[in-house]
Copies of this chain bind each other. A is one copy, B any other.
């Protein structure tokens, strides 16, 4: 197909497609004449991956380029291709060298060992979790994350059940990026919903009681103080 059809079918503007071609995110089409290239289904699939990484994963173009290079490098095992995309999804955390940082990192390794997890030593998630632990400690909050780790393990199994590990590399990466981001967002929202409910139950409130300000046109709240039976 021509670039105009690729644009129509993918919903990506021609100028944007040309930008992806220049940046090496999208592989070149087959040059069939001096001013015309042919594109195929592989280009459509790649555009879908780029948009997923960009719009759902909110990754910068440089990170997307790394992911695309990993997808294209046939010598890389699928686990590493997934890893490249996966690591790109997390924030970049700079270590704060010192005793407190080392202690936090050691705590991270204890949590990982406690769960029996297989994590490479250079995984960026180690520094990410160390930073959060350090912040919790500075604020005097509990740093015992055992129960969170157990929940995370259960959740990750459900996540991975949805990723077709034997599918073509691009499809597997796309499914992993979409899954990590979208199910992560769903989990975060559900957790906050459960907070509201848990707070209502602990304070023994009736279901109609409000959590936060009601909209202007909300029904009367005269029965606000009526406790649940």
Name A residues whose Cβ lies closer than 8 Å to a Cβ of B: 56, 66, 70, 77-80, 82-84, 86-87, 89-90, 111-112, 115, 117-120, 122-123, 125, 128-129, 132-133, 135-136, 139, 141-142, 145, 147-149, 151-160, 162, 165, 175-176, 178-180, 182-203, 205, 207-215, 218, 224-225
Contact = CB atoms under 8 A, between A and B. Distances in A.
A186 B90 CA distance: 12
Looking at A129, A151, A201, which has the most chain B CB atoms within 10 Å of its CB?
A: A151
Contact of A155 (B133, B142, B194): B194
Contact of A87 (B148, B182, B205, B212): B212
Main secondary structure of the interface of A (DSSP, over half): helix
A189 B152 CA distance: 9
Report, nearest first, the 10 A-B pairs whose CB atoms are least far apart: A83-B212, A156-B194, A83-B211, A152-B190, A117-B197, A87-B212, A118-B200, A152-B191, A118-B197, A129-B189
Given A117-B193, A149-B190, A178 B139 contact: yes
A187 B78 contact: no
Nearest to A192: B125
Contacts of A117: 193-194, 196-197
Contact of A185 (B132, B159, B194): B132
A77 B128 CA distance: 37
Contacts of A80: 210-213
Contacts of A200: 79, 118
Contacts of A115: 194, 197
Given A148-B158, A148-B183, A158-B147, A203 B77 contact: yes
Contact of A83 (B90, B189, B210): B210
A125 to B, nearest CB: 5
